[in-house]
Each structure stands twice: as C-alpha cells, then as structure tokens.
Chain A
C-alpha cells in the first residue's frame, strides 16, 4: 500500500474488495452455524451479531489506509454534494460565479500587465545594471547628450563596464531591401551598444572593428521582426545588402527576438561609419551604460556627476550641461506608466471586493434557505466541522469555476492589451498570462474562497438546530442583518469610488478631445516619402514635383511639406539667438557671448508649399511664405504666437531677426515676416511649444526629411492610392507611408484611452454588482418582514405605505453607502491627480453625477422587490 492508494479510483476498488471480504466472512460464519444446527434465519442473525457493526469494521479498516485517503474521499463526497447543490440552484450559482469571475478576471488581467511591464526585468542579462544617462541643464532639466560629452564620460568615469551612445531620432526612414523599399527604424549605435545590453546575434555576428571607424566597411544588424518581414526568416539574409541614405550596408547579423531597444527599432548601424558630430551643444543622442559589477546606481551617479561638473568647469559655455544624472533603464521605460497601472490594479481589487461582498450576501441568504437541510444533517450526526467544511468546499467550487472563467476573461483582455501600440503602453508586446500570473490567480482564488467560505461558515455556525427543525418561518433567526446591511453599504461605497474615478477620467478625456489643437485634425493626410537624394536642389525638385502632382489630384484643397507635422512627426528643436540686425555669419562664438535674455529654445520646422493652409494653422499677423521668397533671397521666418510672446514680450514680432544657426550649418539669420497660431505638437495634454518655421527653398541644407501634408475635401483615405502611385512614378525607390491625421491624433491619446477604457469597464461592472447587492438586500428584507407587512396590510396600511417602508429602507442604505463612498473618493481620487486633465480630482460635478446615478439605480433595485411586497395577500401571509 502506498500514497497512491489515496487516489480516489484505487480507493474505490479497495473499498469494494473489503466489502466482498467481509461478506464472505459472514457467509462462512452463517454456514458454519447452520452446520451446527441453527436455523438459517438464526444463523444469519447470530453471525451478524457476533461480527458486530459491519459498517464500522469497514470504516475502521479503511482508516488503516491512512488519513490522507480518507480526507480526499470525504472531500470528493463534499465536492459531489456541492456540485449537486449548485446544479439545483442555477440562478444562484451563475450569479455568484459571474460576480467573482469579473473581479478575478479584472485583477488577473491587470496583474498580467503589471507583471510583464513593471515587475519583470527587461529581457537582458543582469538588466538591473543597465542605466540611462542624461545631461542636466543649469535649470535642472533632463536633456539628451552630445557626442563630445559622451566621449568624455566614457573616458573619465569608472563605474561602467560598457557605455554606448545611440541616435535619439525615433522616426522611420526609407530602407531598400532585396524585396523593395520600406520604411524602417534605423538607429546608429557605438561599438559598446550590444555589450551594454549584454546581447548577441541569433544568426550571424555583431560588428567587428573594421566596420567601426569612419570609412570602414558598411555593416548592419537587423531585428528578428525585420528579418522575418523582409528576408522571410531565411539564413541567406546574412550577406545581403540594404540601402539607407546613399549607402549600401551588408547585413551581418540578426538579433534574438527579445532584443527590443530602442523599442520598435529594426536596423542597427555602427555610428562610427557616419561623420562624427563634434558640437558639444549638438545634443540629441541617447546614452546607456552597464554598471560594473559591485557598483551601485548611487555610486555610479556620484561618479558621473563629479565628472560632469568637472567638465562644466572646463568647457564653461561650450556645453549646456551643468550636471548629469542616471536612472535604471527599466525605470526610465516604465516609470511613467507604473502609477497608472498600479491605480488600475487597485481598481480591479475594488471590483473583486465588491463582487466578493455580493457573493457573500448570496451565500448567506442561501444558507438561511438551507437551514432545515443543515439542521437535519446535524441531527443525523454530522460533525459541525464537517458542515463548515461543506460550506468551504461549496465556496471553493464556486470560486474555482469563477477563477477559470476569470482567467479566460483575462486572456481575452490581455490579447487586446498585447496588441496595443507602444504609445499606449511600453513593453505591451511582452504582456502575457504566464505561470507566475496563474500562480497569482490561484493564490487569489484560494484567498477569495477562504474569505467567502470562512465568513459564510462563521455565520452559519451556531444555528439553532431545534428551532430550525421544529420551526417555521416565524423563527427565522435574524442572522446578522446588521452585517448584511454593512456589506451592502460598503459595496456601494466602493462602487462610488470606482465610478468617481471613471467619471473624473472620462471628463479629462473629453476635455482632452475638446482642446483646440491649433490645426485641422480632419481631412488631412500625412505622407512620409523621404528620398535618398544627396543633392540639395534635386531633393527640392523632388518635393516640389510631388507637391504639384498631388495638388492636381481631384478633391485636394492644399498641399504642403514640413520637417514636422503636429503630433504625427515631431520636429527637431534647438536654441536660437535674438539679433538686432540681419547677419550672414552667425557662428558658435555668438552663442557663447550672448546673454541668456537674448537666447531661447524652440521647435524648428522647415516648410514648403501651402503647409499652413493644408494644416489649417491660422495666420495671426504679417504674411506667410510665398514663391517670391524662393532661393537666393535672405531667409525669412514665420513664428508661432508663443514664440513671439517668449522672445519679444509686448513687442511686434514682424521684422525681428533670429539666428537658428546650429540646425543646418547655414550661418544666415532669419527675418520674421509672419506670426501664426500655436499648435499642440507635444500632445493634446501638453502646452503648445514655441515653434519657429523656416522656408525650405531658402534652407536646403536641412538634415531632416519632409513629410507631405495633404488637405482634402472628403475622406483622405480615398486618395491614398493615387498618392502612392504619384510617389512611385516620381521615384520608384522611395517607400511611402500615408496616414490619416485624425487617426494620428487619436493614437496620441491612446494611453489615456487605455486607462479610461479599463476603469470604465471596472466601474460598469461594479455598478451592476452594486445593483444586484441592493436588489438582494431589499428582497431579503422583504422576505424577512413578510409577516410584518401582512399584519400592516391587514390593519389597513396602503400600498404606498408598504412601498415606502421597503424602498425607504433600501434608499437609506444606499444614501449611507453613497455618502461614505463620496468621502472615500475625495481622499482616494487624489491618486488620479497625475492622470486628470482640466478637471479637479474633487470635481463636484463628477461626484454629484455619480451620486445621482447610483441613487437612481438603487431606487430601481429597491423598487422591484418593493412592488412585490405590496402585492402580498395578508391572508396568505398570516395563514402560512
């Protein structure tokens, strides 16, 4: 015999054998007695008497098989019994399971996200040692890094085993692969980049020194996704050529699928192949590093800051860096979403508690119904422990089903989340329901069933058996109606908190959408079609040909081009100087000598064609660029209102002179000819930045590719095909991406939408549960007071009085719950401060709305059982 005999089916066989054996024993004893002369009837009876209690002998014998087996056997009985009981009450079972499944599903889904995004380290070895480094300005602002500063950091710090610089540009550019032109994200990186991440190629190799100096052999490493998409996942991809800019690069390696830094990047190139950027002010690079083993972040930070301050004293005005800082890369990537996710996790926990409260009320109500059954079982000798266990098993079975459905719900939700763009959630693609999450859910379910079963059992204990058996409805014990009321009040209070959160975030979202973005968000197509043309004039021709041909399309009202399109493509930004008179030779020395009051910082957009008309950016003052300003004349500029206000407060901006020299190595200054409206370029929630517009024909050296903006009379998707054909006819080697600006703007509020969607779903579920809760308690109270109501009606109470009695009770509870909930919300919604926009976290309108909604719902939930109470026939009630 072994532990295996605890298995129920083996035990069943053993039990059968034992019964056979004992039967044989009795048969032999009877036969012997008959042989001794007893009558068959006496023999059988005496054999049995001599044997004693067969059942007991069997039971004790089976005890010898070990307690574990018996425990499992009883458990099996309990589970079978529980299933039978639950099948007999399908409505009760369904409601309890769904109620808890919602909470478990929500909590599991959000925990999956928290686990994958926040808790799970980045998928690199010892990823806690990877840090991101920033320059810090005198004002304490965190900035990107310039190449010379990076080299000094690399030479002078001692805390890093590897430190790397990469391009901070996150846009896409045209890459030609053997399958044709495509838009890809390309990031040039320094030689230590892969050492910082601690990754290797899955196929091929990383860069070698011959590829890591200016003029060296051109090589590229590609992402797993790019390899599959462009090379069909063939090993022969190694050695193939891809063209970027004007150069051809040999694919030397494919990275493992897990490598995703910068997020969404597809091609890595040695930055050393490109001309070095020597300006100490030319920021725009990202620096990451790996801490030497044994070096803490704090120690590394002290080291970096000491080096950076020393650099400031050496370089003075040549660098905008006064200090430096570093943070963990994981923290840098997810730090912003963590509070949002934890808030959602808390909200899902609320939903779970609300569901649990509902289930608890239903379970106890059911126990009251089953009092006679339980009492009979006690009278027949069931130990109280066995009854408690029966309740625990029932709750476990319910919660078990609920957990299965909850996990299924969570898998559905997580599938949606995993498809979310990085704009809504960083590392979204990594989100899965994994084993850790399932373990969490299992633990959660165990806790829930313990709480549910434990609380139910504790309230079922101490039932008066005799009362229940002899009894009638008259003696229905007031088994804790106070507690039941408290549960409903608590449930309502928590629902108010969830609803308030949803209301606040909903109002914020509406406010966000109501923000005037300063440009048209409808009927505009954004066309990315950057060519690999080195010659500046040829490039201008290319754009002008495109603009002319697209303008000729039917349904097109205006066409322009720009190095930035609000929200869709962020423009470069940089520092500028305010001059007194035009100059042709503003150099770096001027930057050093100018006082801070004559310097500023702004977005720099180079535009062509009818850029402002196409985007609907209004002219406020002066004039826009026109074709008379083309090549040869002194550069002109249009500035945004905010730019004018921050540069020349209270003065007329027209005719003022600005130098933006470090953007394109063109030393000529600009004269301002017009002022246009502000645009919300950094997202709807952020203040519009100061923006400076230059005219492309006058600033041909611009590094950045232009995007076309096409304003149409109807839906821009109608002409997407035509635009693609035009670009293909002009330059077959250019990849085209056409976006509808309304979608771009909509995507820009993805993270707010994601949070709002989740919290509204939770709040909606909570509202349904709370309604059920109120309905349940009022029905229960009606059932309890049936006799009282009957007596009242018999004594002449009107329907109205009865209704008032019942509904009034429900509403009193609701009001109490709502009041507590509002008080709780005022405290708790403070965690939303960072997520709301244009609304206070104690917004009275939101709270009043929530209170009114919940009161209405509570009224309906109380009215239905109340109506039923008024239809009671006093005679029936009193006779029963």
Chain B
C-alpha cells in the first residue's frame, strides 16, 4: 500500500511504536478505530504513517494484552461503532513506555547534536 505522500516526508513506524501511539492517542478518551487514525494523523501532522492494515491488528493485540478494552457504542452520526478505551493496565503501561520513549528520544537527540569532531 503505497501512500500518496512522498516516502521521505513520512516515517515508517518502528516495531512496537504503533502500540505506544495507539495508547497515547487513547489517553484523550475513548475512540473508534477510524477516529484514532484521524487523531494520530492530526497530532503528528501526517508525518507518522499509520496503515489501517496495521491499526486493527494492533487494536486486537492490545485488547488481547488487556491494555485496552472495547465496547459497541454509537458514533456522533448515529452509527454503531466499536469504541476503545484504556484500561488501568493500559495506563500503567503507557506511563512506562512514555518514560522509555523520553529517554530514547533524549539519547537520540544527544547523538544528533553531538560535536562533529567526535565523529572522526
């Protein structure tokens, strides 16, 4: 599934990143799958390429792991949709992953801004 945006402007997700993104997005409240997709796109200014084909497996996976739960609800347009929300277990995991991600991005930022001399 090739996107329409040039590949350079979008970032392929790292393994496990999608789960974190989904959890992070659900922090704002329950959402259905399509809503999540829109939310992630909006919040990352379309940079992160979340494939629909990956989102739903991720939702099933997180459900199986107990990080999120789902129930049937009705959307703003009176449509029967499956709404996902974070479970307490999911919140705990999100907290853990957040600190991991922060440390990782700090480390990468450190590398990026290191003096060029050390490269040689």
> Could you list which residues of chain A lie within 8 angstroms of chain B, going by C-beta atoms?
1, 17-18, 20-22, 24-25, 27-29, 31, 50-53, 56-58, 60-66
Are B53 and A53 neighbours in the complex by a CB distance under 8 Å?
yes
Q: Does B113 contact A (CB under 8 A)?
A: no
B33: Cβ under 8 A from any A Cβ: yes
Q: If A29-B34, A31-B77, A62-B60 touch, does A57 touch B82 (CB 8 Å cutoff)?
A: no
Whether A52 contacts B60 in the complex (CB less than 8 A), given A21-B82, A24-B32, comes out as no
Q: Which residues from 14 to 31 on chain B have a C-beta closer than 8 Å to any C-beta of chain A?
A: none
20 A-B pairs whose Cβ atoms sit less than 8 Å apart in the complex: A1-B63, A21-B32, A21-B82, A24-B79, A25-B52, A28-B75, A28-B79, A28-B81, A29-B34, A31-B77, A50-B52, A52-B1, A57-B52, A57-B57, A61-B57, A61-B59, A62-B60, A63-B57, A65-B60, A66-B64
Task: List B contacts of A20 (CB < 8 A).
Answer: 80, 82
**In the complex, what distance in Å separates the CA atom of A488 from the CA atom of B80?**
64
Assess the A27–B57 pair: CB atoms within 8 A.
no
A59: nearest chain-B partner, CB-CB? B57
Pair B79/A21 contact, Cβ less than 8 Å:
no
A-side contacts of B64, CB under 8 Å: 1, 64-66
- Chain A residues lying within 8 Å of B1, measured Cβ to Cβ, are 52-53
What residues of chain A lie closer than 8 Å to B51, measured between beta carbons? 52
CA separation between A511 and B61, bound complex, in Å? Answer: 77
Nearest to B1 among chain A residues (CB) is A52
Q: Which residues of A contact B79 (CB under 8 A)?
A: 24, 27-28
Contacts of B53 in A (CB 8 A): 51-53, 56-57, 60
Is B56 at the interface (CB under 8 A from chain A)? Answer: yes
Most A C-beta atoms less than 10 A away, residue of B51, B57, B79: B57
CB distance from A846 to the nearest CB of B (A): 69
B residues at A contact (CB < 8 Å): 1, 32-34, 51-53, 56-57, 59-61, 63-64, 75, 77, 79-82
Cα separation A61 to B54 with both chains bound (whole Å):
8
Decide: A28 and B34 in contact? CB cutoff 8 A: yes
Cβ of B63 to closest chain A Cβ, rounded Å: 6
Q: What residues of B have a CB within 8 angstroms of the CB of A58 in the complex? A: 56
Question: Chain A contacts of B75 at CB under 8 A?
Answer: 24, 28
Which 3 A-B pairs have CB atoms at the shortest separation, nearest pair first? A64-B60, A1-B64, A52-B1
Residue numbers in B under 8 Å from A65 (CB-CB)? 60, 64
Q: How distant is the Cα of A68 from the Cα of B32 in the complex, in angstroms? A: 28
Inter-subunit contact B80/A24 (CB<8 Å): yes
Q: How far is the CB of B49 from chain A (nearest CB, A)?
A: 12
CA distance A666 to B100 in the complex (A): 110
Chain B residues with CB under 8 Å of A50's CB are 52
Output the least CB separation between A783 and chain B (Å). 49
- Chain B residues near A24: list those with CB within 8 A: 32, 34, 75, 79-82
CB neighbours (8 Å) of B52 from chain A are 25, 50-52, 57
Question: In chain A, what residue has the closest Cβ to B77?
Answer: A31
- Bound Cα distance from A189 to B64, whole angstroms: 70
Q: Hey, which chain B residues are within 8 Å of A25, CB to CB?
A: 32-34, 52
Our pick among A27, A56, A64 for the contact of B61 (Cβ within 8 Å) is A64
Known pairs A28-B75, A29-B34; A17 contacts B82 (CB<8 A): yes
Alpha-carbon distance between A31 and B64 when the two chains are bound, in angstroms: 31
Q: Is the CB of B56 within 8 A of A22?
A: yes
A56 neighbours in B (Cβ, 8 Å): 53
Residues of A near B34 (CB, < 8 A) are: 24-25, 28-29
Highest count of chain B CB atoms <10 Å: which of A22, A51, A53: A51
Q: What are the residues of chain A within 8 A of B81 when measuring CB–CB?
A: 21, 24, 28
CB nearest to A22 among chain B residues: B56
Complex CA distance for A21 and B34, rounded to whole angstroms: 9
B57 CB, nearest partner CB in chain A, Å: 5
Residues of A within 8 A of B32 (CB): 21, 24-25, 28
Chain B residue with Cβ nearest A17: B82
Q: A25-B34, A29-B34 are in contact. Are A61 and B80 (CB under 8 A)?
A: no
Question: How near does chain B come to A725, taking the closest CB pair, in angstroms?
Answer: 85
Contacts of A1 in B (CB 8 A): 63-64
Q: How far is the CA of A31 from the CA of B51 in the complex (A)?
A: 19
Q: In the complex the two chains form, is B56's CB within 8 Å of A18's CB?
A: yes
Given A24-B80, A52-B51, A61-B60; 17 other pairs, CB 8 A cutoff: A20-B82, A21-B32, A21-B56, A24-B34, A24-B81, A27-B79, A31-B77, A50-B52, A52-B1, A52-B53, A53-B1, A57-B53, A61-B56, A61-B57, A64-B57, A64-B61, A66-B64
Closest-by-CB residue of A relative to B79 is A24
With A and B bound together, what is the CA distance between A53 and B54 in angstroms?
Answer: 11
- A60 CB contacts on chain B under 8 angstroms: 53, 56-57
A181 to chain B, nearest CB (A): 78
What are the residues of chain B within 8 A of A18 when measuring CB–CB? Answer: 56, 60
